[in-house]
Structure 1
Amino acid sequence: MSSTTPDPTTRPAPDPTRRAGRRAVSSPLRVDREKLVLGVAAPLLAIVTAVAITSAVMLLTGDNPFRAFSVMLDYGSKSDSQVWIINKAIPYYLAAAAVAIGFRMNLFNIGVDGQYRVAAFFAAVVGGALSLPGIVQIPIILLTAMACGAIWAGIAGYLKATRGVSEVITTIMLNFIGGSLIAYFLQEGRLAERDENIVHTTDIPDSSFFFEIPTDPYPIHGSIVIAVAVGIAYWFVLGRTRFGFDLRAVGRSEEAAEASGVSVKRTVVTAMLLSGAVAGLVGMPTLLNESGNYGIDFPEGLGFTGIAIALLGRNHAVGMGLAALLWGFLERTGTQLEFEGYDQEIVGVMQGIIVLSVVVAYELVRRWGIRRQQRQVGEQLAAARNGKTATDPAEVSA
């Protein structure tokens, strides 16, 4: 009996499986910490690189970069500038979200510019033809814009899925077709009217204008609610649903997704329809908060700006919001730089440098992270092999 009774003063031999279990439990914390470091390193590297290159460009042209940055920060922090930046960022964010939906599955929807202009035009026509209470007419205008944008983008998605036609080519061509279509109908006697020397669609009723958030000195457009709703839907659908998983799987590997039961063609068409529907909302802040009609002076080029902002925000819902605000900040403060004697092209140079810096910085950090993970896996495998060699009795006796 006494020989089989364990000695309480004797410490039991360590169980290797228990140590492995502790390592398995603690590994997620280590992975999260590493992801956090990688996530912070990329934007910091991009910011430092962008500031350094921009400063060098200014110095080469004989300008003082420190004075320029001081002017930008001072002017951009004023209350009227902040409101202007927020209002400007709303359509930028919507354009970026539309582009990012395609980017998540390696679809390059270059046609957001044409999609939102076609959508805004026909939404303005419908809004000007109706005279309903705002609570009814505003949703009709929004749904019309989304439907027109989805149809215009769906053409490219259908050709991509059924005929294998590159969406880059079709969306660019559809941009020109959309512009010609608008030019045809935007004439007096067709779907437009003349107001002195300006031709535009019929004005929508005052009741169809979106609400505004009162701020000093100018109000914030109520269409910011649309941008927030799109951002939440984008985050949820692409990150928390089966469709979002299928979309990202198709983007990673069409063959693997097809083998796992995902319909690649249906996913392509659906993604383009969603991208076009969001693109249709890009012109709504201007239509429902500013102009009230579609004329020859309706803003163009927002779709191409959305591409840059999507790249800058790394297709992340929050990242694109910050990128849109940064873009608006640069445009707002760029006008003040002109008054201070700086070249007006310096803002475009800054925007291009920032986008390139972000893309390059994230790629460098991504590659460094992969090499680090590979090195860690190799070290763990080597340690496990050495430990097994030293403790395996069969191998020791051999």
Structure 2
Amino acid sequence: MNRDRLRRIALALLAPAIAVVVSVVVTSLVILAAGSAPGDFWSAMFSNPLPRIRVNIINQTALIYTAAVAAAIGFRMGLFNIGLEGQYTIASFAAASFAGAAYLGGFLNVAVAVLIAIVVGASWSGIAGILKTTRGVSEVISTIMLNAIAVTLVGYLLTRYGVREGNTVRTKRMPESSTLTGFAPYEARDGQVWALSVIAIFVGVGFWILLNKTRFGFDLRASGQSQTAALASGINPKRMILTSMLLSGGVAGLIWLPALFGGAESYGTSFQFGLGFTGIAVALLGRNQPFGMLFGAVLFAFLSAQSNTLTFSTDISPSIVQITQGVAVLAVVVAYEVVRRWRLRLDQHVVTDESETVTEATA
């Protein structure tokens, strides 16, 4: 029993180890091909981060992890929701517009804005869910189109109703009473950890409870593995698809809110694009598991934050970090599949050996 447990643990650790080695080797080869020294790159990337970079890593981890959970909800259902980008874009714009209008004051303004972001994100994602359940439209196609529509719609509304400042345009700034003060682990000049970063904790814990402690989570996992078997056991697959898309979009609406209420104070040039696609990559990297995605979010945030040091200490472009991240995701996906097949072969050999032993003993 102990031997079998050790073998399973070793196999579980083998895939990430392979992915790390492949990522390091491929990135080093790319740097060599570009005429730079790989040693300079890895030395800069894994140097001790400055305090302000550490704060940035924590903040970015919260955003990326929330995006990863939003993607994982769809993945566990067997849905490829790549519309996170559009969902959190339009949700952030709606929340910023409401908070900036200051219909309410203080914390109530923040609470309602957060609720609006959840509802708008869920509604935008729900469009793809309705199209899939009623017309059989692939969520991949519909969410790609909805991404473009969301960005275009937000751009139009921002241009028409936004506040102009020189060559830039933004929503109205929210009142000071609605901004949330975080905490500064270092000196004030190093920045603050955003107060609403705690959303990532609630989202991660809620996702774990949903998957492992609720009937809906069981239905979600069952439907993701086989919709035919789920239907035979009494689960309504169309309802599960729509509910999963709504939940995924609702969580996506929360992605940028820590930054909005923590320092941005409006939707404009400070808005951070690309978090939706990064969340999808981290969900794949973490195998849609809460703790695995946390590791992936920290890794991506660390690499992105540390890439700024490349400009000052090396002649290597910070864009090389994107190659590292992409290779890491691909390597993990391939490595897990290779290890899975190897594990199946080992299990088959074990079963065969035990069967032969039993046959010899009874002969």
- Which residue of 39, 63, 68 maps to 2:41? 68
* Residues 194, 259 of structure 2: 8 Å contact kept: no
- Which residue of 370, 373, 395 maps to 2:347? 373
Partner of 1:160: 132
Offset at residue 367 of structure 1 (A): 1.2
User: SS of 1:236's equivalent?
Assistant: helix
The one-letter amino acid of 2:54's match is Q
Counting only pairs closer than 5 Å after superposition, residues 246-285 of structure 1 correspond to structure 2 as 246-285=219-258
* Residues 330, 347 of structure 1: 8 Å contact kept: yes
Offset at residue 134 of structure 1 (A): 2.6
Greater RCO (Cα-Cα under 8 Å, separation 6 or more): 2
Offset at residue 131 of structure 1 (A): 4.5
TM-score (norm: length of structure 2): 0.94
TM-score (norm: length of structure 1): 0.86
Partner of 2:182: 212
User: SS of 2:159's equivalent?
Assistant: coil
Offset at residue 91 of structure 1 (A): 1.2
Q: Distance in 1 between matches of 2:31 and 2:168?
A: 41
> Residues 280-333 of structure 1: CA distance to partner in whole angstroms, max 9, x if unpaired?
001202211121111255221211111111111111111111111111211122
Offset at residue 32 of structure 1 (A): 4.0
Q: Distance in 2 between matches of 1:264 and 1:33?
A: 38
Partner of 1:231: 204
User: SS of 1:186's equivalent?
Assistant: helix
Offset at residue 371 of structure 1 (A): 1.1
Partner of 1:392: none
Q: Distance in 1 between matches of 2:76 and 2:201?
A: 19
Offset at residue 63 of structure 1 (A): 2.0
User: SS of 1:109's equivalent?
Assistant: coil
Alignment of 1:313 with 2:291, yes or no, is: no
Offset at residue 132 of structure 1 (A): 3.1
Q: Distance in 1 between matches of 2:25 and 2:153?
A: 45
> Residues 347-372 of structure 1: CA distance to partner in whole angstroms, max 9, x if unpaired?
12211211111111111111111111
**Structure of higher CA gyration radius:** 1
CA change 1:40–1:181 in 2 (3 A) is same
Offset at residue 193 of structure 1 (A): 2.1
Partner of 2:332: 358
Deviating more after overlay: 372-381 vs 128-137: 128-137
User: SS of 2:46's equivalent?
Assistant: helix
Partner of 1:47: 20
Partner of 2:315: 341
- Percent identical pairs in the alignment equals 45
Partner of 1:186: 158
The one-letter amino acid of 2:30's match is V
* Residues 119, 148 of structure 1: 8 Å contact kept: yes
User: SS of 2:300's equivalent?
Assistant: helix
Counting only pairs closer than 5 Å after superposition, residues 19-34 of structure 1 correspond to structure 2 as 27=1, 32-34=5-7
Q: Distance in 2 between matches of 1:187 and 1:146?
A: 24
* Residues 150, 277 of structure 1: 8 Å contact kept: yes
Offset at residue 218 of structure 1 (A): 2.2
Unaligned 5+ runs, structure 1: 1-26, 390-398
Q: How much is the aligned-residue C-alpha RMSD, in angstroms? A: 1.6
Q: Distance in 1 between matches of 2:262 and 2:46?
A: 28
The one-letter amino acid of 1:149's match is G
Partner of 1:80: 52
* Residues 23, 327 of structure 2: 8 Å contact kept: yes
Partner of 2:274: 301
CA change 1:235–1:209 in 2 (3 A) is same
Partner of 2:99: 127
The one-letter amino acid of 2:156's match is Y
- Which residue of 287, 302, 306 maps to 1:329? 302
Partner of 1:9: none
Partner of 1:102: 74
Corresponding residue pairs, total: 359
Q: Distance in 2 between matches of 1:161 and 1:93?
A: 28
The one-letter amino acid of 1:99's match is A
Q: Distance in 2 between matches of 1:283 and 1:345?
A: 23
Partner of 1:202: 172
User: SS of 1:194's equivalent?
Assistant: strand
User: SS of 1:219's equivalent?
Assistant: coil
Partner of 1:388: 362
Deviating more after overlay: 41-50 vs 145-154: 41-50
CA change 1:61–1:201 in 2 (3 A) is closer
User: SS of 1:106's equivalent?
Assistant: coil
